[in-house]
Chains A and B, each alone.
Chain A
Amino acid sequence: MKSLYLLFFGLLITCSSVFAQEDTPDALIKKVTDDVLTIVRQDKDIQNGSTRKAIELVEAKVLPHFNFQRMTALAMGRDWNKATPEQKKQLSEEFKTLLVRTYSNALTGYRDQTVHYKPTRMQGDDKDVVVKTEIVQSGSKPIQLDYSMEKQAEGWKVYDVVVAGVSLVTNYRDTFSREVRANGVDGLIQMISTKNKQLEAGKK
């Protein structure tokens, strides 16, 4: 009897922990977007263009849901396999810094746009989905904003962001592959890191 009780209790815990971590991908995107926009609407500094505060917000709320290693691999295409594990780590770190800095800035341009969430087509055991949203502004065509996501042990992670059909990740592919061809993987690390230092220096 006692063991049955324990088994039941054990099941209950497993179930609830599964529920706790298992946001569906579209629910996750909605939650994070709503969180971030609520803060941006109240934060005068971000609205006035404070990059530093926008970065802090993105680092706290958005970063945990991104898989930067996968994003870097996607941006590099075949060249990714030429990198050693140590180089991969450096590349992902530098690319993350670049993406966070440049796109946190986009948040400072937020005014009164609203976000619509489109139904996500997925089957129960899908490990890879695209969550489609659109940014609606009166008087102009809605801007499509799509997130490619994959399921990992810790939950769903974004590995690509596509704005109006433009992947913020693969848009770097030609530039990166040319740099690898000219100066190798280390040259690419150097290139991104130099860019990050320039941005850091010019930051308010």
Chain B
Amino acid sequence: MFSAAFAAVVLSGCATTANNPKDPFEGFNRAMFSVNEGIDVVVKPIAQGYDTVTPSPVKAGIGNFFGNIADVWTAFNNFLQGKGGQGFSDVGRVLVNTTIGIVGLFDVASEMGMEKHSEDFGQTLGKWGVGDGPYLYWPIIGPRTTRDTLGWAVDSYADPVLNLDDVALRNSLAGIRFIDLRASLLPTDKVVEQAAFDKYDYIRDAYLQHRRSEIDDGKLPVENQDSN
């Protein structure tokens, strides 16, 4: 009885694997994708309103402020990945931007030639050799590999904003950050809308390529090499 059930699971597993090995839970993922498209019906107009109403320097300031907070975690992950040079540069960025850049509102460090990096715990795990695992699509947070889902949980646990004791302040900051992030993706919307035959597929494939490249720090995808 048990073995029959097991065989059925294995067989159905094979059947879906044949479809797309990177995305064995496509059914679940597509359902969550529709949920997110539904949520975005509300979120997108807010982001568009924010984008129109907020003057550019203010928007830049808001982006820089949250970027500065994120740089702390980026530095930490650079050290975990053994990239000490980048890690120290990120620490320098935080020191400069928090002081001269007035609590991070101005990205003075970039102008001084200290390049901004972007590292998270999912990339660190990837660097340590943890594979992608099945692709997943979550409500609100969107596409993540299994490894990056775990990474995201650790990122959130360490997130200074989410760790604030003042609930009202915490929620407002997290809310503004979310809308600011959504607004920064508005120009991409149009391109994806036009380029994609199937938006779900296009986003999945782009996300997986992008993460691979982030973990390899910008090396070209291997897929590129075999042209025919």
User: A80 vs B228: C-alpha distance in the bound complex, in angstroms?
Assistant: 7
Contacts of A195 in B (CB 8 A): 197
Contacts of A162 in B (CB 8 A): 213, 220-221, 224
Q: Which segment, of B43-51, B77-85, B114-122, B144-152, faces chain A? A: B114-122
Q: Does A138 contact B (CB under 8 A)?
A: yes
Q: Does B67 contact A (CB under 8 A)?
A: yes
- Check B202 against A138 for contact (C-beta < 8 Å): no
User: A77 vs B225: C-alpha distance in the bound complex, in angstroms?
Assistant: 11
Q: Does B3 contact A (CB under 8 A)?
A: no
Contacts of B116 in A (CB 8 A): 139-142
Chain B residues 157 to 213 lying within 8 A of chain A, measured CB to CB, are: 184, 187, 190-191, 194-195, 197-198, 201-202, 205-206, 209-213
Report the contact-size class of chain A (Cβ under 8 Å from the partner).
Answer: 35 or more
Decide: A138 near B110, CB < 8 A? Known: A102-B195, A105-B190, A175-B201: yes
Chain B, Cβ-Cβ closest to A109: B187
Chain A, Cβ-Cβ closest to B116: A141
Query: How far in angstroms is the closest Cβ of chain B from A195?
Result: 6
User: A139 vs B107: C-alpha distance in the bound complex, in angstroms?
Assistant: 6
User: A115 vs B94: C-alpha distance in the bound complex, in angstroms?
Assistant: 25
**Option from B63, B218, B220 in Cβ contact (under 8 Å) with A140:** B63
- Check B214 against A175 for contact (C-beta < 8 Å): no
Q: Does A57 contact B (CB under 8 A)?
A: no
Chain A, Cβ-Cβ closest to B212: A165
User: A179 vs B197: C-alpha distance in the bound complex, in angstroms?
Assistant: 11
- Check A166 against B213 for contact (C-beta < 8 Å): yes
Q: Does A62 contact B (CB under 8 A)?
A: no
**Option from A77, A109, A139, A166 in Cβ contact (under 8 Å) with B60:** A139
Q: Does A37 contact B (CB under 8 A)?
A: no
- Check A139 against B213 for contact (C-beta < 8 Å): no
**Option from A142, A171, A175 in Cβ contact (under 8 Å) with B115:** A142
Instruction: Describe B's contact surface by its main secondary structure.
Output: helix
- Check B228 against A78 for contact (C-beta < 8 Å): yes
- Check A73 against B210 for contact (C-beta < 8 Å): no
**Option from A73, A106, A130, A168 in Cβ contact (under 8 Å) with B227:** A73
- Check B67 against A140 for contact (C-beta < 8 Å): yes
Number of interface residues of B (CB under 8 A): 38
Decide: A170 near B220, CB < 8 A? Known: A141-B117, A165-B209, A195-B197: no
Instruction: Describe A's contact surface by its main secondary structure.
Output: helix
User: A80 vs B111: C-alpha distance in the bound complex, in angstroms?
Assistant: 47
User: A89 vs B71: C-alpha distance in the bound complex, in angstroms?
Assistant: 49
Chain A, Cβ-Cβ closest to B216: A165
**Option from B63, B206, B226, B228 in Cβ contact (under 8 Å) with A139:** B63
Query: How far in angstroms is the closest Cβ of chain B from A8?
Result: 43
- Check A138 against B218 for contact (C-beta < 8 Å): no
Q: Does A81 contact B (CB under 8 A)?
A: yes
Q: Does B20 contact A (CB under 8 A)?
A: yes
Q: Does A144 contact B (CB under 8 A)?
A: yes
Chain A residues 98 to 135 lying within 8 A of chain B, measured CB to CB, are: 98, 101-103, 105-106, 109, 130
Q: Does B64 contact A (CB under 8 A)?
A: yes
Decide: A191 near B201, CB < 8 A? Known: A80-B228, A164-B213, A166-B210: no
Write the A143-169 contact mask toward B (1 if CB under 8 angstroms, else 0): 010101000000000011010111110
Decide: A148 near B224, CB < 8 A? Known: A98-B195, A103-B191, A171-B202: yes
Chain A, Cβ-Cβ closest to B65: A139
Q: A139-B67, A195-B197 are in contact. List 16 more A-B contacts (CB 8 A).
A: A70-B227, A106-B191, A138-B107, A139-B64, A140-B116, A141-B116, A141-B118, A162-B213, A162-B221, A164-B210, A168-B195, A172-B197, A173-B205, A173-B223, A174-B20, A179-B197
Q: Which residues of B contact A (CB under 8 A)?
A: 20, 60, 63-64, 67, 107, 110-111, 115-118, 184, 187, 190-191, 194-195, 197-198, 201-202, 205-206, 209-214, 218, 220-221, 223-224, 226-228
10 A-B pairs with the lowest CB-CB distances in the bound complex, closest first: A165-B213, A109-B187, A102-B195, A102-B194, A139-B64, A139-B107, A141-B118, A166-B209, A166-B206, A141-B116
